[in-house]
Amino acid sequence: MSKIPVIIDVDTGIDDAMALVLALQADKLDIRGITTVAGNQTIEKTTRNTLDVVEYFGRSEIPVAMGAKQPLIRPQVIAAYAHGESGLGTAVLPKAEKMPDELDAVSFIKKVLEESEEQITLVPTGPLTNIAILLKAYPHIKNKIKEIVLMGGGAFGGNYNAAAEFNIYADPEAAQIVFNSGVKLVMCGLDVTLKATVTPEDIDTIRAIGNKAGDFIAEAVEFYMAMYKRNPNFTGCAIHDAVTITYLIAPELIKTRQGIARVDIDGRDSYAATICDFRPWRDREKDNALVCVDIDREAFVKLLVEACKNY
């Protein structure tokens, strides 16, 4: 079976790191590059974390290109409350020797797309700043993009506030450009990612693997889990970003709904909300998104555990 060519765009981040752990060992993926964006932490930190994760897990041949350091328009927000000062909780990785690619993220993605004979899937798991700049600056490149499988948004509400999910809230104008671009979207938003949870018992299983991946994940998730434990309905923590990779390597675990997805940048209380239209009588010509709505949690955890064992 031929591999799926992808470029992953991350703001690493604890759950971004877990998405990478899943992706870097996946036989089904041909990772043509990884690009970084500011989001969970500053661009310096998300890039450092990405380089460190990629090298630690033995894939330093994959180029890492540094991207946007701030949102297009709105003031920057970061998520140290969820990912800590470093962006990886209390986990500390050896400092990677490899430096970022000489190209910036947007130029890097453009070059890889232009040089590719086949279409490539973009997988953003942070704010959509790099992707929006790419699509605006080089619209001709759209026909080289197979689809954009993104973590962001939520048809039924937010996490940063009642309406908005963090990645969209961090750069809503960029998200609007991407959602209106005409490129096919697969939206792994909160509807599915809040169901993609790992429990403290799952983390015990991962730690018990006793290798570098198990140790790293168990350490990094501890900080993240602590935030989730403040939720009175706590059952586990959501590994949002890993759902994008799961969609690509094990799509049978995920349920989707076809619809029209847009980003509101004009509302007051709904600023940065993703509005999803599933009405049966909508104008289906305007459908632009497969919205992921459910996941087989047990199988998802198993996928993560098996991925860790491969290191």
Site residues, ligand BDR (CB under 6 A) = 13, 15-16, 40, 79, 82, 125-126, 151, 159, 165-167, 240-241
Q: How far is the CB of 143 from ligand BDR (least distance, A)?
A: 27
Of 53-61, 65-73, 237-245, 258-266, which segment contacts Ca ion by CB under 5 A? Answer: 237-245
Tell me the C-alpha distance between 130 and 68, whole Å.
6
Coil vs helix vs strand at 225: helix
The interface partner of residue 158, options being ligand BDR, Ca ion, none and the CB cut-off 5 to 8 Å by kind, is none
Q: How far is the CB of 188 from ligand BDR (least distance, A)?
A: 9
Asked if residue 230 lies in contact with residue 266, where contact means CB atoms within 8 angstroms, the answer is: no
- Nearer to ligand BDR (CB atom), residue 82 or residue 93: 82
Looking at residues 7 to 36 of the shown chain, list those that interact with Ca ion (rule: CB under 5 A). Answer: 11, 13, 16
Asked if residue 271 lies in contact with residue 264, where contact means CB atoms within 8 angstroms, the answer is: yes
Nearest residue to ligand BDR on Cβ basis:
166
Tell me the C-alpha distance between 272 and 275, whole Å.
9
Counting residues that bind Ca ion (by CB under 5 A) gives 6
- Nearer to ligand BDR (CB atom), residue 159 or residue 176: 159
Q: How far is the CB of 214 from ligand BDR (least distance, A)?
A: 21
Q: How far is the CB of 46 from Ca ion (least distance, A)?
A: 9
- Nearer to ligand BDR (CB atom), residue 16 or residue 191: 16
Q: Cβ contacts of residue 263 below 8 Å, gap of 6+?
A: 153, 168, 172, 175, 176, 179, 272, 273, 274, 275
CA angle 270, 275, 277 (to 5 degrees): 150
- Nearer to ligand BDR (CB atom), residue 134 or residue 164: 164
Looking at residues 122 to 141 of the shown chain, list those that interact with Ca ion (rule: CB under 5 A). Answer: 125-126
Coil vs helix vs strand at 255: strand
Nearest residue to 71 via CA among 214, 151, 170, 148: 170
Instruction: Spell out, one character per residue from 240 to 279, where the chain touches Ca ion: x when CB under 5 A holds, - when not.
Output: -x--------------------------------------
Asked if residue 60 lies in contact with residue 54, where contact means CB atoms within 8 angstroms, the answer is: yes
H helix or E strand, kind and range, residue 7:
strand 4-10
Count of Cβ atoms closer than 10 Å to residue 302 Cβ = 15
Strand runs labelled E in 96-253: 120-124, 145-151, 185-188, 197-198, 237-238
- Nearer to Ca ion (CB atom), residue 13 or residue 259: 13
User: Which amino acids are annotated catalytic?
Assistant: 240
- Nearer to ligand BDR (CB atom), residue 41 or residue 176: 41
Phi, psi of 247 (to 5 degrees): -55, -40
Q: How far is the CB of 86 from ligand BDR (least distance, A)?
A: 14
For CA atoms 48, 197, 189, 149, the dihedral sign is positive
Q: How far is the CB of 152 from ligand BDR (least distance, A)?
A: 7
The interface partner of residue 12, options being Ca ion, ligand BDR, none and the CB cut-off 5 to 8 Å by kind, is none
Instruction: Give the residues lining the site for Ca ion (CB under 5 A).
Output: 11, 13, 16, 125-126, 241
